[in-house]
Structure 1
Amino acid sequence: MEIEITTFRTESGYSDARRPDKVEFVSSIEDDLRRRDFTINAFAYDPLEHEFIDLFDGVSDLSKGVIRAVGDPVERFREDGLRPLRAVRIATALGFEIEMRTLIAIGETLECFKRVAKERVLDELRKIMRAVKPSVGFEYMRETGILEIIFPELLEGYGVTQNEFHAYDIYTHSLYSADFAPIDKPLVRWAALLHDVGKARTREVREDGRVTFYNHEVVSVRMAMVMLERIRFPKKEMEYVCNLIRWHMFNYTPEWTDSAVRRFIRRVGVDAVADLFDLRIADFHANGLNLGFPPYLDEFKKRIESILEAGDAITVRDLKVDGNDVMKIYGIGPSEKVGRVLNELLSVVIDEPQKNEREYLLNLLREWAQREGDED
C-alpha cells in the first residue's frame, strides 16, 4: 500500500487551468478539504477522535456511487482543466454516475479542458481503457462534448447504420468492441476502439440496397494514426495498434495452403497474431446479433499454432544464414540490398520450409550472386 504524507494547504488562482498561482499551508483540515475536486475525495478520518470529517457528504456520495464536485463544479473545473475528464475516468473505473450539475458543468468549461497538456489527457484515457466498460466513459465524453475535442473522428460513425451483420451503428459497435477486448491487453482495446473508424468515410449503398465499406481498414489506419498522434501516443504502441487495425479483416478459408498461412503470419507479425485473434473475437461479440463465431476461426488458429510449434521460418531472423553471409558472398557492405536478398531467401523458405538449411541457402546465394555478375 502506498501512503502519501502532506501538510494541509489551500490553493488559489489557476491562470493556466492546471497549476495554482498561489499555495498556502494551513492548519485546518476543513480548509484543505474545500480545495478538493470531488466529494468522494474530500472527507477525512481523525484516528484520535475516531470520527469522519465530512463537510460535503462525501461518504454518502461514495455509498450511493455518485461523482459530485465540491462546491461550484464550474469553479472546480476551471481550477484544473483536466478535472472534467478525471470525473469521467473515476465514474467509469468505479461504475459510478456523475451528478447532473457536475455533468452539465463539464460542457460549460471545455475551453479550460482544451488547454490541458495532451500527455495528461492520454494518461486519463489509458485509465479509462483499463475499466471493465470503457464505453461508459466514451459515452460520457460524447454527451459532454469532450469527445468532439479529443476524437471527433469517432463521432463520424454516430448514428451511421451498418449492414445486416451488425445491430448497432458504427460508433456504438466501436465502443462495445473495446469493452469486449481483453481488459489486460490495452493495445488490443485501442485497436478495437478504432478498428472501424474509417467506415463512415467508405460507406456506400449499392443498387441492390447492400451497404459496403470497402477498404475501410486502410482508411481506419490512416485516421487512427492522426488520432493517436494528437494525444501523443508512443510511436511503437501506435504502430502496433495500427498493424492490428490493418489486418483485422483477414479472410481465411480452409483452402489456404500452409505457405499462405506462413505469409499471413509474416505480414501480421508473430508477436501480434494472438492479439489479432482477440481483436477479431471482440469484433464478433460487438455485432449485437449473437451470430456466433465462424467455424474457420478455431481451425485457422490451430494451423497457425502448428506452424509456429514446428519452428518454420517466418522472419529473416529465422533463416540459417544472415546478413554477414550475404555481404561476404556478394562482396558488398551493409546496405538495403542485404535486406532485399534476405527477404528473397525468406520467400523461398516460406514456400518450402525444408530448404531452410545453411548449405542450401549458401549455395543459393552463390548462384544468385554469380547470375547477377554474369548479367553485369
Structure 2
Amino acid sequence: MNFEVWPEAIELGHLFAARGYELALVGGPVRDLLLHRRSHDLDFCTSAHPDEFEPILRHWGRDGFWDMGRKFGTLGAMRRREDGTEVKVEITTYRSDTYDPESRKPEVSYGDSLEGDLSRRDFTVNAMALRVPQLEFVDPFGGASDLAKGVLRTPVDPYQSFDDDPLRMMRAVRFVAQLGFSIAPDTAAAISDMTDRIDIVSAERVRDELTKLLLSDRPRAGVEALVESGLADIVFPEIPALQLEIDEHHRHKDVFEHTMIVLDRAIALETGPEGPVPAPDLTLRLAALTHDIGKPKTRRFEPGGKVSFHHHDAVGAKMTRKRLKALRFDHHLVEDVSELVNLHLRFHGYVEEPWTDSAVRRYVKDAGPLYERLNRLTRADATTQNRRKAMVFSSAMDEMEQRVRDLKEKEDFDAIRPDIDGNEIMTILGIAPGPEVGRAYKHMLEYRLDNGPVDHDTAVAELKRWHASL
C-alpha cells in the first residue's frame, strides 16, 4: 500500500528509532490518508513513556511544546514550515484506559504493544496505524475494509468498548454526521442497549461531541442517528419529543421531520466567510434544532380537528435555555440561541399586514446582533408545500429586508437611543436620579422607535408633554 506521508512523521520516526523506541501514526491521520485527505494535526503512539520521549519532542518542536495531557501519557509539539503552515503533533504512550462504572474520568494504564493500543480505540476505521519510519501499515481489525464500506464498527465487542468509554457512543453518531458512515448493526444494538451509560460522561464532553456533530457537513444525519439510537433521550430529550403523532387527517406536520428540514434549510442559508452568517454557524444551527421544542408542551386539540401550539416560541425559549445550560454551553451562546427561538415567529405578522416603519424598527432593535440569523431562521422555518403561500412569504421577507436597508441609510439602527439622554431628562424635568428617570427614558425610546430621529426641540417638547400627562 503506497502512502504519501508527511515528512515530519518520517523525521520523528527516525528520531524515535535511533533511541530504540517504536513510533506509529494512528487514528484520524491514517484514516484521512486512505480517504485522500490531508491534515496538519498528527497523532502518534509510542512504546516510550513521556519522560523518555519528552527530550525528543522538545527538540523537534522548536515552535511550540505542551504537556497538558501528561497524566494521560500525551505530550504535544508544533513546528512551522517555511510556507508558514503549522504541523501539530501529539504523541501518546501505548495505553489502555477504562472507566470505573461510577466514575466520569478514565483510569489510564500504559500498554506494551501497538496492537494492544489499537484494540482500545473507538472504531476500526480509527484503529489503523502506520509505523514510521518504515511505513508498515497495521490494520488488525479490518479498518480499511470498513472504511471502504462506510461502516462504523468497534475493534472489540461493542458492549465492552462502550462500557470502557461510554463517550464512544456519542462519537459514533458524530462520525455519521462527519463522515457519512452508517453504524454496524451489532454496534448500533449495543448503543441502544447501553444509552443509560452515557450518564457517567461529563456534560462538557457530551457538549463537545454535539458541537462537532452540528458543525459537520451532515448534521441532520447525525441528529437522526442520535435520536434513533436512544442517546438523545438522555442527552437532549427535547429533540425526540418532537416526534409527535400525526393526526389522522394530517392537519399538522410531524414536528421532528419539520425540524430536520428547517435545519437543512438554515444551513443552506449560511454565507461565505465575508457574509453576515459565515458557515458553519453553531448559533443558527442550534436555533434551527430547538426552534419548535416548545410544541409538545403547548399542543392543544381544538374544535374541528385543528391543532394549536400557542406560545410555543416563549415556552421553547425557556426550554432551550435550560437544556443548553445543562450541557454547559457558553453563556452568550445560550442567550443568543434562546432569543432566536423566542423571536422566530415575530415576522409572521408582517406577512398578514405589512408593518409601519415603527414596527420595522422594533423588529431590528429587538433582534439586535441576531438580525441576520433571525431572518435566516425565519426563512428556513417557512416549509409550506403551498407554492403560493411560499412565494408570498418570501416576497414579504424580501420587502421587509429592503425596507430595513432603506431605513438604515437614514438612521443608525445599530445604535437606536432616545433623542435625549438620562442627564438631559433630569435637567429638563428637574428631577433626581431614580425610577422616574428610567420611565422617562423608556418613553422617549418608544417615541424614537415610533417616529424615527427627531430634532432636539421636538424631543424636549414630547418629554414635557409626557411628564405633564402623568
TM-score clears 0.5: yes
Matching residue of 2:16: none
In structure 2, the CA distance between the partners of 1:228 and 1:214, relative to structure 1 (3 Å rule), is same
The answer to whether residue 371 in structure 2 is matched with residue 273 in structure 1 is yes
Distance 1:4 1:335 in 2: 59
Structure 2 unaligned segments of length 5 or more: list them: 1-39, 42-87, 268-278
Distance 2:425 2:319 in 1: 39
Q: Report the more deviating stretch, 273-282 or 324-333.
A: 324-333
Q: How far 1:77 sits from its partner (Å)?
A: 1.0
Distance 2:400 2:179 in 1: 38
Matching residue of 2:406: 306
Structure-to-structure mapping, 1:1-376, within 5 angstroms: 1-2=40-41, 3-15=88-100, 16=102, 18-24=104-110, 26=112, 28-161=113-246, 168-182=253-267, 183-250=279-346, 251-253=349-351, 254-269=353-368, 271-285=369-383, 287=384, 292-293=390-391, 294=393, 295-312=395-412, 316=416, 318-329=417-428, 335=434, 337-355=436-454, 357-358=455-456, 360-361=458-459, 365=463, 371=468
Distance 1:353 1:164 in 2: 48
Q: How far 1:333 sits from its partner (Å)?
A: 6.4
Distance 2:248 2:390 in 1: 17
Determine helix, strand or coil for the equivalent of 2:246.
coil
Determine helix, strand or coil for the equivalent of 1:4.
strand
Distance 2:162 2:313 in 1: 38
Distance 1:130 1:162 in 2: 34
Q: Which amino acid aligns with 1:234?
A: D
Deviations 1:128-150 (A, max 9, x none): 11123322122212222111112
Determine helix, strand or coil for the equivalent of 1:156.
helix
In structure 2, the CA distance between the partners of 1:289 and 1:83, relative to structure 1 (3 Å rule), is farther
Distance 1:12 1:362 in 2: 72
TM-score norm. by structure 1 comes to 0.87
Determine helix, strand or coil for the equivalent of 1:160.
coil
Distance 1:163 1:351 in 2: 46
In structure 2, the CA distance between the partners of 1:366 and 1:350, relative to structure 1 (3 Å rule), is same
Higher strand share: 2
Matching residue of 2:4: none
Distance 1:12 1:59 in 2: 24
Equivalenced residues, count: 367
Q: Report the more deviating stretch, 245-254 or 90-99.
A: 245-254
In structure 2, the CA distance between the partners of 1:8 and 1:235, relative to structure 1 (3 Å rule), is closer
Contact 1:80–1:112 under 8 Å retained in 2: no
Determine helix, strand or coil for the equivalent of 1:161.
coil
Report which structure shows greater RCO (CA 8 Å, sep ≥6): 1
Distance 2:465 2:386 in 1: 57
Determine helix, strand or coil for the equivalent of 2:106.
coil
TM-score norm. by structure 2 comes to 0.70
Structure 1 unaligned segments of length 5 or more: list them: none
In structure 2, the CA distance between the partners of 1:21 and 1:47, relative to structure 1 (3 Å rule), is closer
Deviations 1:156-196 (A, max 9, x none): 32143379998840111112212221352221111111111
- Say what the alpha-carbon RMSD is for the aligned residues: 2.8
